[in-house]
Amino acid sequence: MDVELFSVDIVGNIIGDDRLFAAIHCLPGSASASACGQDTLVTSYDGTTTTCAPVSGAVLDYVRPGCGIVTGWRDTCSGCNMPPANYAWSTSTDCKVGGGSNSCAAAPLFEDTVQLQSIGLGGQVNDDDTFYVGLRCDDAVSTEAVATNACPAGEFVVGIEANGALNCLGLAESAMTAFRERCSLYFAWNGECDTCDDPPTKWGRTRDGNCMTSGAPDDTCSTMTLGNQTVNLYGLNTDGTVDGQDTFRIGFRCE
């Protein structure tokens, strides 16, 4: 499959006063009443008139605070299964740090303000360093209701009782399942590749509940508990000193 990868070209050696930044950002969806059609579901029915709303509002109300990216780093960890010494986690609405010299900040990038996590490194990055990436979503149970004429905000009609009452259901659980099964984070690295377009030397894919490496030596997949969350982490080991000839690449894809 083709994956759009964003490349970060390194300028100089990565040492202890360098930082790596990452974020995931989804814009809010729409919940405004609209004509029924593509990408909408029914929200109200009074026996005569049907009203709909886009699904994007309900889906992204869950995804924006509930689904996030995890990044981390560990020194002296070539092919090991130890947790990152430094890590951070961020969603579209929040950012948290754990261990090491990490930071979080709401940063204006292009036209958006994103929850930007920053990973501090402990020294020169070489062939015993491992960088970690992961995706995770909070567990969710969709809200349900029985209503007259109109469903509560964020819920949609899934059935009608004999007396005309509406069976209503939210989309949080469906959004969680779709994100976990269909959305993946890709992380890759090239050595000796200063602004080149060569395929990555090493790469891996992680999603909430799954991880896969390209089979390169010393890369790992691990399920780890960081703070109070369990994350499937892809660990990328750099094969030598990371300097101006190295390029990191990252991509996000939903099937």
Selected residue with higher pLDDT from 9 and 185: 185
Mean pLDDT value of segment 128-156? 95
Would you call 59 helix, strand, or coil by DSSP? helix
- Strand partners for 115: 106
Residue of 167, 177, 171, 181 whose CA lies nearest to 139: 177
Q: Of the candidates 168, 173, 237, 234, which has an alpha carbon nearest to the alpha carbon of residue 204? A: 234
Instruction: Give the separation between CA 199 and CA 188, rounded to whole angstroms.
Output: 9
* Average pLDDT along the chain: 91
Domain ranges of the chain: 6-254
- Amino acid at the residue 236: L
Q: What is the pLDDT of residues 28-39, one digit of tens each?
A: 999 999 889 999
Q: Rounded distance, CA 177 to CA 209, Å?
A: 11
Q: Dump pLDDT digits (tens) for 196-247.
A: 778 888 999 999 999 999 999 899 999 999 988 899 999 999 888 888 888 8
Q: Which residue has the higher pLDDT, 133 or 245?
A: 133
Residue 92 host element (H or E): none
**What percentage of the chain reaches a pLDDT higher than 90?**
67
Neighbours of 76 (CB within 10 A): 12
Rounded CA-CA distance 112/134 in Å is 23
How many Å apart are CA 18 and CA 12, to the nearest integer?
10
In the chain the first and final C-alpha atoms are separated, in Å, by: 10
Q: pLDDT tens, 55-102?
A: 999 999 999 999 999 999 998 888 888 999 889 999 999 999 987 778
Instruction: Name residues whose C-beta falls within 8 Å of residue 49's C-beta, 6 or more positions apart in sequence.
Output: none
Q: What is the pTM of this model?
A: 0.91
Question: What per-residue confidence (pLDDT) applies to 1?
Answer: 66
pLDDT greater than 80 at residue 9: no
CB 175 within 8 A of CB 63: yes
